[in-house]
Structure 1
Amino acid sequence: MAIFYKKPTNQIHKNMNNILLYGADWCPDCRRAKAYLKENNIDFTFVDVDLDKEATAQVEAINNGKRIIPTIIIDDKSYTNPDNIQLASVLGINAVGHVQLFGADWCPDCRRAKSFLRDNGINFEFIDVDQHDWATEKVEEINNGKRIIPTVLINSKPYTNPDNTELTKLLSINIEKQHKIFDTIIIGGGAAGLTTSIYAQRDRFDTLILEKSTIGGNAFLTEKIENYPGFQSISGPLLMEKMEEQAKTYGATIKTGEEVVNIEKKDNLFSIKTKGDTYLGKSVVLSTGSTYRKLGIPNEEALIGSGIHFCATCDGAFYRDKDIIVIGGGNSALEEGIFLAGFCKSVKIVHRSKYFSASKTYVEKLESIENISTHMNKSSLEFISDDKGLFEGVKLKDNETQEESVLTADGLFIFIGLIPNTQSFKNIVDLDSRGFIQTKGLAETSVKGIFAAGDCREGAIAQVAAATGEGVLASYGIRSFLK
């Protein structure tokens, strides 16, 4: 225990939990971060970058010109798109609750408590009383006017200089963790994973969904879906929210922010290890979906987030009343280009072939939209940046004349297809040459008890309706396997 004397400072008084979350309602990771903070009773202020231009400028300043959200400020320190594991570490979030340690680096008992917590895998928020006047006032309030450290708060309940024995009891340290065994663990919370869960739960099988980001997958990022049976038109987020609600109603357990790093089979059970925990299941469904394919030309990686994007629903709002370029010629490119034309000044669609591969319906729609222009049979050579390192344009080559030109705009969106999110499984189940999971029968993979559904599966059709059908197929595979 230490009694400290506060040196006079000119520091402005601050309140506890001074957390700012810059984001937007359409952003999946913003929704994930907000939900995680709320679930753990962490107070924060949400600033919508769509409604606050100063907030957009602040995000760009923090991220070296890139518009990346969520960006979270915790006690004057910024974190760009922190996952739940990082948030837990910074804010002291644990299964037993929220842990805060008020102390100082020079205090021996503070160092002892910090080391003990770290050695036992306990996340804690360290609040230096030498750096924050409000922290000194909090310690005085807890200790009846005395400045005693370490003072530890567990779920807001204070303990003054607890020794290691007391911390062991309070935090249930060294008590063997009992793992619940699920009938099936579904990796990925898109349409396929949610449907699998709905059907499995109806069969009275206990399911767990582990989702790296937020529930909904690529469908959640689709502004409008017009080919899902039963709905002439429905927004992607709304459809996915309905599926999530239905899965929960039937009893599914859903955990977001859980990135799977390993799958191992032990004693007829599958051990699923994430960055933060381990889960046990009798069967596994891989429904990790796919991500956007890149062009692979010079300056692409450097400009992603600084003018180059892959999701119109996610990043289109940054380009209201501005000029943009869309690269691609399939359904997604034209659908997203039409969506962007609704609020952008102009949309220039670049395609490497003479004709679009998109369906006739989308091609016909282009003719009636005045602020869309097309640049056909042109290959993208490299991206051009300005003197600030931000996107300025793309160098093109005419495939017939070989003539090169530069097309300029404020931003650019790439829609040239998808690649499966299966790299983590390449040594676990058989993949085809493109990385898609090979299946047979009732969505069975090369490993008995592991199934695959959705866009990550070989031969899958990248449509929401198709993904739900594959989820049904996987659920029947689970039923057959478990029975």
Structure 2
Amino acid sequence: MEKAIVLYGADWCPDCRRAKSYLDSNNINYQFIDVDLDKEATEKVEAINNGKRIIPTVIINKNTYTNPNNAVLASVLGINPQGQLILFGADWCPDCRRAKSYLDDNLINYQFIDVDQHEWATDQVEAINNGKRIIPTIILNGTPYTNPNNAKLKELLNIDADKEHKVYDSIIIGGGAAGLTTAIYAQRDRFNTLILERKNIGGNAFLTEKIENYPGFNEISGPKLMERMENQAKTYGAEIKTGEEVSNIEKKGELFEITTIMGTYLAKTVVLSTGSTYRKLGIPNESDLIGSGVHFCATCDGAFYRNKEVVVIGGGNSALEEGIFLAGFCKKVKIINRSAQFKASKTYIEKLETIDNIEIYTDNTPVKFTKNDKNLFKGIVVKDNTTKEEKEITADGAFIFVGLIPNTKSFKEIVNLNEKGFITTQNLAETSVKGIFAAGDCREGAIAQVAAATGEGVLASYGIRDFLK
């Protein structure tokens, strides 16, 4: 059988790590191609995605999926709690249609492989059936079954078996520093916890190339620190599921029912630690160029601009930190700040003065991004706040760091939010709903620092302890 699954990605990419983790945990064989190391792979990804470098891009039996979530992977690969189900068949085959209909009716995922389209599939069917082309041929967890009827499928998949939900003491939504710390402390109190994370563990801290202000470390990479927190949470017994995007939280008696794209979960308490995402500028051409010249993470996308010129927009700690990082391998970094003075700490401002390949444009407001004759990124037009004159600053790419937006849109009908969308809390991280707590960057008054997020996780764990008493 040919290598039917190819995953184009990079080690720093959160969704790539999430997809790889899901495939690995379900024993799915795939070929991983790092676009940072393979120029042809980068060009292929751009060709597939209309010029944009979107990863992960996954090819399964010649079908392309751009950044598929775990539910999509489960559907196309036939991943179920009972195991992986592959159905070799053809559209004209009556028994294949019957089997597919039965599986669909019972919400069973299956990977359908059309033997008319893949020669290797026909060969495999013949090998299983002693030279005969019998379809449907079904493989469940590596064991083949030739044209099983519905009763056999029911038996094999335990379709009518009663399903009991495990009840967790606490379900933590979000696997950043706050969520991981909550789990560590709750598990030490002998409360069983489950972390549901929509991407990969670590949140924004995972995307930070270097952390220099976390107690106990003069310097540590974001991924390494988050990996240590994750391992510690698992050591104490926390369960972690990635690729789980929560769509609803509902109170059912004394419990909370949490619905995700993959299923439902029950808990006595809930902790919202969903963090935040990067704020956009809201200027013309920004949306069109995101992923193709406009970016929000230097650690993620900076490697694409080695020995090239980039623009950094913003004046806070994140903007200067990422600008300094980019200056280490870019030909030139042009920092644009709307205000006359930077808001960043003095440490970062002083570092700027020591770096020769950084240009500073203060008191300039971004007006619009510009495109070249090939409709690709060209530069940015800014307006001088004093003279009101506009000028274009050209570059090969741009990185935006102008603040964060809380990831709380899904909870606006569940808990109280302030006018900016942050979750309001009191006392031990308690929200407006008893039994639901909030910690980290999604909470009103939070400080967007890893050390602060861990402290909030501790506070939330004490709230869980107090509530469950």
Contact 1:452–1:474 (8 Å) recurs in 2: yes
Which range moves more in the overlay, 459-468 or 37-46? 37-46
Partner SS state of residue 149, structure 1: coil
Quickly say closer, same or farther: Cα 1:268–1:203, change in 2 above 3 A: same
TM-score (norm 2): 0.99
Which residue, 278, 282, 294 being the options, matches 2:264?
A: 278
What residue identity is the alignment partner of 1:47?
Answer: I
Partners of 2:419 and 2:83 lie apart in 1 by: 46
Which residue, 158, 167, 174 being the options, matches 2:160?
A: 174
What residue identity is the alignment partner of 2:75?
Answer: S
Contact 2:3–2:31 (8 Å) recurs in 1: no
Give the superposition deviation at 1:176: 2.3
Question: Aligned Cα RMSD in Å?
Answer: 0.7
What residue identity is the alignment partner of 1:148?
Answer: I
Q: Look up the match of 2:392.
A: 406
Q: Look up the match of 1:90.
A: 76
Partner SS state of residue 148, structure 1: coil
Q: Look up the match of 1:392.
A: 378
Q: Look up the match of 2:351.
A: 365
TM-score (norm 1): 0.96
Give the superposition deviation at 1:146: 0.6
Partners of 2:142 and 2:92 lie apart in 1 by: 24
Partner SS state of residue 318, structure 1: helix
Which residue, 449, 457, 469 being the options, matches 1:471?
A: 457
1:155 aligns with 2:147: no
Q: Look up the match of 1:3.
A: none
Once the two structures are superposed, residues 419-450 of structure 1 have per-residue CA deviations (whole angstroms, 9 ceiling, x without a partner) of 10000000000000000000000000000000
Q: Look up the match of 1:6.
A: none
1:103 aligns with 2:89: yes
Partners of 2:460 and 2:255 lie apart in 1 by: 18
Contact 2:309–2:333 (8 Å) recurs in 1: yes
Q: Look up the match of 1:197.
A: 183
Q: Look up the match of 1:315.
A: 301
Q: Look up the match of 2:206.
A: 220
Q: Look up the match of 1:73.
A: 59
Give the superposition deviation at 1:363: 0.5
Contact 1:300–1:382 (8 Å) recurs in 2: yes
Q: Look up the match of 1:55.
A: 41
Counterpart mapping for 1:321-360 below 5 A: 321-360=307-346
Which residue, 214, 217, 229 being the options, matches 1:243?
A: 229
Partners of 1:279 and 1:474 lie apart in 2 by: 20
Give the superposition deviation at 1:175: 1.8
Partners of 2:415 and 2:375 lie apart in 1 by: 41
1:128 aligns with 2:127: no
Partners of 1:78 and 1:426 lie apart in 2 by: 35
Partners of 1:89 and 1:256 lie apart in 2 by: 16
Counterpart mapping for 1:107-122 below 5 A: 107-122=93-108
Give the superposition deviation at 1:17: 4.4
Q: Give the unaligned 5+ runs of structure 2.
A: none
What residue identity is the alignment partner of 1:80?
Answer: T
Partners of 1:369 and 1:436 lie apart in 2 by: 37
Contact 1:17–1:42 (8 Å) recurs in 2: no
Contact 1:150–1:161 (8 Å) recurs in 2: yes
Q: Look up the match of 1:30.
A: 16
1:287 aligns with 2:277: no
Name the count of aligned residue pairs: 469
Partner SS state of residue 374, structure 2: coil
Which residue, 388, 401, 413 being the options, matches 1:415?
A: 401
Contact 1:17–1:74 (8 Å) recurs in 2: no
Partners of 2:254 and 2:461 lie apart in 1 by: 19
Give the superposition deviation at 1:172: 1.2
Q: Give the unaligned 5+ runs of structure 1.
A: 1-14
Contact 2:314–2:402 (8 Å) recurs in 1: yes
Once the two structures are superposed, residues 437-481 of structure 1 have per-residue CA deviations (whole angstroms, 9 ceiling, x without a partner) of 000000000000000000000000000000000000000000000
Give the superposition deviation at 1:74: 1.0
Give the superposition deviation at 1:236: 0.2
Counterpart mapping for 1:446-465 below 5 A: 446-465=432-451
Q: Look up the match of 2:417.
A: 431
What residue identity is the alignment partner of 1:294?
Answer: K
